[in-house]
Structure 1
Amino acid sequence: MIETTTGKKRILSLDVFRGLTIAAMILVNTAGDGRYVYAPLQHSKWNGCTPTDLVFPFFLFIVGVSIVYALESKKADFDNHKNIISGALRRMLILIGLGLFIALFYRFDFQHLRFPGVLQRIGIVYFICTLIYLKTRQRTRDWLAGIILVSYYVVLTYVPVPDGNAPNLEPESNLAAWVDRAIFTTDHIYAHTELWDPEGLLSTIPAIVTTLFGIRIGEFLKRTDISANKICGNLALTGVVGIILGLLVGLIFPINKQLWTSSYVLYAAGLCTVGLTAAYWLIDVKGYKKYTWVFVVFGANAISAYVVSEIVPGMLNWISVHHEGTKIGGMKLIYDSVFKPYFSPYNASLLFAIWFVLLIWVLMYILYRKKIFIKV
């Protein structure tokens, strides 16, 4: 159990929360059969928010908290800012490179290479938020977050789309979709839509605010002038306020992950705050740490776990067999042989996803036991 004040010690709950988020990210990305997925494990078709829609903002929120824990003690050394920014730029480029590598790993086709992506967004948001954190105070960051959220609402709902469409929030004809097509072209955006990208350029701007919220919560968690119990109370209240604000703003600007709307930012940040606060209170304040290592295995090598989870399916699919004139890859072969014959379609699909999470966990556990922590 830690002291009643936060001190400078790294909080275990942050790694646990990160690990849970990565586990959830892998789970929802690896259904055995995409036709049979329980509703909470699917993204909303457009407006609305499922538990799956919260996974990505949870990770970006944690990035913000981690920035504070990594840089707070270094921020005052202005002479070192250049090195910090250089390191952040390097990490951004590595993350972008990894995202492009994963896209090419499955389809070595530069003509149709998807430029946006999950890792690309993480890298860009991390770099920008590192700059903002180093060069601004919290009050400035709060104003900046508010300006971005209001401006994003105004731009999407009042600015006409240059292709002749009136301002709208429909999937293929909104301004963010037009920007993706204009800058990346349809050959280099999400192949399943071809007309817009869920990690597109314009929607990355409000995603920055998700990480700025994480920075705000990280700074509050590091306070040493009040007790840990008071920190938990204040953060829980902050989270509830964020949820309520998100729902209220959603009445005029619908909660939508694909567009990363302002209401979605507020709603998700509120839930992130409540979730992290609960984990902090249970683990770091009350000292319930017995099985936390199970999740720290993922949290300690979060990006590595995600990258491996994206690559392993492709590697397994190198192993293939021919069945009734059709070539079956390794992933489908395992699903068809081990899960599909013995469970209902929905349960087979879910159990396959759980099995895959456990497979990646074992690979990360090997690194964890050998104390290998790959920092991007």
Structure 2
Amino acid sequence: MRVWAAQQNRLESLDVLRGLAIFCMIFVDAVPDPDRAPSWMLHTPWQGISFADLAFPGFVFAMGAAMAVWLDRRSGRRQGAATGKIWCRTMALILLGLLYNSLPLFFQYLLFPETASLSLWEEFSQHGRWLGVLQRLALVYAAGMMLGGRLRSDFRILLAAFLLLAASSAGFHWYAPNHPFAMDHNISSAVDQVFPGTAHCYLGKTFDPEGLYGTIACTASVLFGMLAGRLLQEKSMGGVLSLAASSALLLAAGWSWSQLDMVSKPLWTAPYALYTSGVLMLLAALVQLLFLCVPRAASFVFHPMRVFGMNALFIYMATGVALSLLWLLPSSAEGQPFFSWLWSVSVGSMFSEADSIVCFALLWCVCWWPLMELLYRRRIFIKL
């Protein structure tokens, strides 16, 4: 990671979009009791879509928009150097993802060494999760940058995105024609059995929600974000109208495709990619419209999100480290993790269970704001 000073003339709407995405990711990760939380705060287990299912696609979409800005600013420069940076960042994200996934095991060994029957390395190599959010970001970043850097035109990028979705959908129907999206028999889980294998999937399941096959359709989500990034750079009402029209197109395509394929976040199916990208395209249009019409008010209202967006990767990892530790620490209540205990003794009895969980998750996010504000005011931005 590197610490950079802020660039001048940044695209504020893009920073806000990234901040909104990372804020939502932190918010839905901070559920203290999944059994009592409202359903919209939880990821759908297999089919359908909820508010929580927009968080990760939001970050993927914002990353695609930032990639468009990066590529446009470096157009005409030597390609070899840019390609080297892309692959270095990809490998760095993969390594960070492996480190991030090993944190629960590390804290387990640190706090409760007497429970260990294997060394930390043996435990991770035999049972650790090898894929995850950061690893998927790395793969779709590399694929998106390679495609975006070569396709150039908006039409080619849009066509590539739909071809990727078509390829992903065709794979499901080819592998299991009768029941292409069955939980126990689909092409995505079959790929996961080869790599990384059941022992290294999320919670030891037969599939991984960030598995390799879902990367195909997820790359399409990045390309849709890239198209949004190009429109955001126009900073015009024409760009806003184009974003809104693109949103309508993607939502209509998502509805049409959902008549054939299932909407599923764990599989990252084609209609899921289209629905989420359509919603995010509309959100981008609304944010950009506010910055065009009332720039000072928009900058003031969205300042907290901009602060989060300027250090998105750092805050994601920092909150993840904290959550890993707090879920492992014991509390005064027997059998209750410390993080869940914090909820019960703070706002757990002040409102209904569902409302108190929402309030607690919001408070968790707000508690990180002073640190992010300090980094922002010091002009410290930690990036790969």
The alignment's TM-score, normalised by the length of structure 1, stands at: 0.89
User: CA 1:366–1:320 in 2, change beyond 3 Å: closer, same or farther?
Assistant: farther
Choose the corresponding residue for 1:87, options 85, 88, 109.
85
Structure 2 residue matching 1:275: 3-state secondary structure = helix
Structure 1 residue matching 2:163: 3-state secondary structure = helix
Match of 2:96 in 1: 98
User: CA 1:361–1:168 in 2, change beyond 3 Å: closer, same or farther?
Assistant: same
1:135 aligns with 2:133: no
1:176 aligns with 2:188: yes
Cα pair 1:176 1:201 within 8 Å, conserved: yes
Match of 1:246 in 2: 254
Deviation at 1:76, TM superposition (A): 1.5
Match of 1:59 in 2: 59
- Comparing 236-245 with 355-364, greater Cα deviation is found at 355-364
User: CA 1:197–1:318 in 2, change beyond 3 Å: closer, same or farther?
Assistant: closer
1:190 aligns with 2:202: yes
Cα pair 1:308 1:360 within 8 Å, conserved: no
Deviation at 1:284, TM superposition (A): 3.4
Choose the corresponding residue for 1:155, options 168, 171, 195.
171
Deviation at 1:268, TM superposition (A): 1.2
Deviations 1:35-68 (A, max 9, x none): 1111211222322111111111111111111011
Number of residue pairs aligned between Structure 1 and Structure 2: 357
Query: What fraction of aligned residue pairs are identical, expressed as a percent?
Result: 27
1:114 aligns with 2:114: no
Cα pair 2:20 2:305 within 8 Å, conserved: yes
Match of 1:3 in 2: none
Cα pair 2:104 2:325 within 8 Å, conserved: no
Cα pair 1:103 1:114 within 8 Å, conserved: yes
Match of 1:338 in 2: 346
Structure 2 residue matching 1:169: 3-state secondary structure = coil
Structure-1 separation of matches of 2:268 and 2:41:
19
Match of 1:14 in 2: 14
Deviations 1:258-291 (A, max 9, x none): 1111111111111111100100010234313222
- Comparing 310-319 with 266-275, greater Cα deviation is found at 310-319
Deviation at 1:30, TM superposition (A): 1.0
1:46 aligns with 2:46: yes
Structure-2 separation of matches of 1:61 and 1:285:
24
Structure-2 separation of matches of 1:336 and 1:51:
24
Q: Write the mapping of 1:158-307 to structure 2, written as runs, cut at 5 A.
A: 158-160=174-176, 168-191=180-203, 194-223=205-234, 228-287=236-295, 288-307=298-317
User: CA 1:167–1:294 in 2, change beyond 3 Å: closer, same or farther?
Assistant: same
Structure-2 separation of matches of 1:134 and 1:232:
24
Deviation at 1:322, TM superposition (A): 4.7
Give the unaligned 5+ runs of structure 1: 1-7
Deviations 1:333-355 (A, max 9, x none): 32232122333221222222112
Cα pair 1:232 1:281 within 8 Å, conserved: yes
Counterpart amino acid of 2:150? K
1:123 aligns with 2:138: yes
Deviation at 1:143, TM superposition (A): 2.7
Give the unaligned 5+ runs of structure 2: 1-7, 107-122
Match of 2:28 in 1: 28
Counterpart amino acid of 1:230? G
Cα pair 2:90 2:138 within 8 Å, conserved: yes
User: CA 1:327–1:152 in 2, change beyond 3 Å: closer, same or farther?
Assistant: closer
Structure 2 residue matching 1:374: 3-state secondary structure = strand
Cα pair 2:263 2:269 within 8 Å, conserved: yes
Match of 1:37 in 2: 37
Choose the corresponding residue for 2:162, options 118, 135, 146.
146
Structure-1 separation of matches of 2:47 and 2:229:
30
Counterpart amino acid of 1:314? S
Structure-1 separation of matches of 2:264 and 2:336:
36
RMSD: 2.0
Choose the corresponding residue for 1:359, options 344, 367, 377.
367
Structure 2 residue matching 1:365: 3-state secondary structure = helix
Structure 2 residue matching 1:107: 3-state secondary structure = helix
Counterpart amino acid of 1:293? H
